Amino acid sequence: MQGKHGWRAPLAPIVRPGGRTLWESLLHGTFIRVHHHGAMSTGTSERLTTVHAEQTCDCPFSVAESYAVDYLEQAEKGGPEAILRVPLFGGLTAFRRRVQPSFGLAIDLVEEGRRHDEIRLRWSSGSKLFPNFRGTVRFRIEQTFTRVLVDGSYAPPLGVLGAAFDRFIGRHLAARTLDDLAGRIARALEKREREWEAAHPAPAQ
């Protein structure tokens, strides 16, 4: 990629033993965009809610995935990255919950013409009161920036009562949560790139 960063080679390939095979078996298929509620082809009759969020960050596309993987590895280890937040207006946070995330890499089949990976992400809420999630993190070139796209789905818990709550309130909270996650990933990418630039200053003209 060429821009204010010049040409940057990707970081070393990420190897997660068994990751691709595991995630292709667990998360095969394509997420279907629907309004509010929809179903995903997973072989079950669960009614799922799909959510989407995206953020643009000042980070080269060529290294965005590697930076994001580092961020999610910290989440897997139980760091603060594993805490989900439901932000409100004015910078207030309505709710925080630590989840148990896991992820792997798979080929991004959504964008044609350019072969690269996507991150398959899932987390367990650890409670019957909160939904589990599975989805993807993808990256797109946005001029000299990178756009971070997070898509996924969850099954509202607590049966009919939970489905009613999700229709009127829960899906809005989920959208805010995912938007916050996409923003945190984007800011983490920018932070890593600033650190790289500080360690590799451009030669004087």
Say what the pLDDT of residue 64 is.
96
What is the reported pTM? 0.78
Q: Rounded distance, CA 93 to CA 123, Å?
A: 20
CATH number at residue 66: 3.30.530
Residue with tokens 């818990």: 157
Q: Is residue 184 part of a domain?
A: yes
| Distance set, CA 97 to CA 82, 85, 185 (Å) | 8, 7, 17
| Distance set, CA 55 to CA 92, 147, 180 (Å) | 20, 6, 9
Q: Is residue 4 part of a domain?
A: no
Find, among 35, 194, 193, 64, the residue nearest to 138 by Cα: 64
- Counting the structural domains of the chain, the total is 1
Alpha helix positions (H), 77-158: none
Q: Is residue 13 part of a domain?
A: no
Rg (CA), the chain: 18
* pLDDT bracket for residue 95 (50, 70, 90): confident
- 8 contacts 115 by C-beta, under 8 angstroms: no
Structure confidence by residue, pLDDT tens digits, 42-76: 444 578 999 999 999 999 999 999 999 999 999 99
Q: Is the pLDDT of residue 18 over 60?
A: no
Mean pLDDT score, 71-91 = 90
Q: Where in the sequence is the domain holding 51, given as residue range(s)?
A: 19-199
As a whole-number percent, the residues of the chain with pLDDT over 70 amount to 77
* pLDDT bracket for residue 94 (50, 70, 90): confident
Q: Is residue 137 part of a domain?
A: yes
Q: Is the pLDDT of residue 143 over 50?
A: yes
